[in-house]
């Protein structure tokens, strides 16, 4: 799993880096987007992107799929 936090170039964090991680076969990509105040879990990489994604606003738990299989508490991100 890789975790990305948006920086001064958020579009690169949201798109280009995510696609690189998928191409590398990294099973999960967790994006903490400071601009939109949400966390997104990308899973099931195929070719140059992820087939599945789930987004939740900061403060709401987000489920991490196997092999982690737990709800990530995002309350501290508020």
Note the pLDDT tens digit of each residue in 2-55. 999 999 999 999 999 999 999 999 999 999 999 999 999 999 999 999 999 999
Q: What is the pTM of this model?
A: 0.93
What is the structure's pLDDT at 3?
A: 96
CATH number at residue 40: 3.90.1570.10
Structural domain of residue 7, as residue ranges? 2-77
What is the structure's pLDDT at 78?
A: 87
Looking at the structure of the chain, the number of domains it has is 1
Long-range contacts, stretch 44-50, CB < 8 angstroms, 24+ apart: 45/21, 46/22, 47/22, 47/23, 48/19, 48/22, 48/23, 49/18, 49/19, 49/22, 50/18, 50/22
């Amino acid at each position: 799993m890789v975790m990305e936090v948006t920086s001064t170039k958020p579009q690169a964090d949201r798109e280009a880096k995510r696609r690189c991680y998928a191409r590398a076969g990294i099973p999960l990509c967790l994006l903490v987007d400071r601009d939109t105040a949400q966390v997104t879990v990308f899973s099931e990489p195929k070719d140059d992107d992820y087939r599945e994604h789930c987004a939740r606003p900061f403060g709401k738990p987000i489920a991490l799929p196997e092999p982690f299989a737990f709800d990530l508490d995002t309350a501290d991100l508020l």
